[in-house]
Structure 1
Amino acid sequence: MAKNTFREPERIAKQKKQRRKIRLASWLNDFIGLDRLFGEDNSWPIRHIDRILWVTFLMIVYIGLNHNAERLVRRIQRTKLQVDELRSQATVLQADFNKSGKQSEISRRVAALGLAESQTPPHKIVVKSNEH
């Protein structure tokens, strides 16, 4: 008859994972000397150093994204101001162009050259088909 036992691979995997965390904490403790910083009896920061580093990384990413968003908003506002200025310049130029094409404006400009509008109406030229 078979005997019920615990599965060994899961327990071993859990121990290896825990050893890996302890190894990271012990390496940082050896490299930086965290036990001197926090005290030998206070091992909480050393045990949770991976979570502390993860939260620190997330905060740095958050701050970076916030700065990027603010810079983008400033750039958009600057571009909107430039677009408004260019639109107003285009409106003024279009109004000047439309005004310069009027007959009264053209006659005023050519008067300085000594040209004037004809007072007689234009003559119609008729060509007969046999004169051709």
Structure 2
Amino acid sequence: MAQNTYKSQPKAPVVKKKKENRLMNYLNHTIGFERLFGEDNAWPIKHFDRIMWISFLLIFYIGFNHNAERLVRNIQRVKAAVDEKRAKYTTLQADFMKSGKQSEISKQVLATGLTEPVTPPLKIVVKPEETQP
């Protein structure tokens, strides 16, 4: 014969409590979000952490944008300075090359009283038969 046993009561499902956000409670008490948005509108209070995260990302994005624009302005300023120095270098190089020509040197030497010889220098040509082996 079977033994009599007590029927066990079914256990109630465990409902996990949502953690209370201390920061939200503090802000709600100090700033009074319920007064700002209305007591029946709890959406901004529930999603305050997400709103703050998106705000942080927007501020970060704006900061990067300003930094990029500043870098572009600096690059343009440096490019203009490099172009100016390149033009100055080209001008100085052309003046230097011009001052090395014989006609320019002779003009400068005439001021000191020296003159060029009238006869051009002689070119010595050695024939291959004249070379000694």
* Distance in 2, Cα, partners of 1:120 & 1:76: 58
Q: Structure 1 runs of 4+ off > 2 angstroms?
A: 118-123
Deviates more, 1:46-55 or 1:110-119: 110-119
TM-score (norm 1): 0.74
1:121 Cα deviation from its structure 2 partner: 6.1
- Tell which structure's C-alpha radius of gyration is larger: 2
Q: Indicate the residue corresponding to 1:109 in structure 2.
A: 108
* Distance in 2, Cα, partners of 1:94 & 1:86: 12
Q: Indicate the residue corresponding to 2:41 in structure 1.
A: 42
Amino acid at match of 1:76: I
Mapping 1:1-132, distance limit 5 Å: 15=17, 18-20=18-20, 22-119=21-118
* Distance in 1, Cα, partners of 2:118 & 2:103: 15
1:37 Cα deviation from its structure 2 partner: 1.0
1:31 Cα deviation from its structure 2 partner: 2.1
Q: Indicate the residue corresponding to 1:129 in structure 2.
A: none
Q: Structure 1 vs Structure 2: percent identity of aligned residues?
A: 61
TM-score (norm 2): 0.74
Whose helix fraction is larger, Structure 1's or Structure 2's?
A: 1
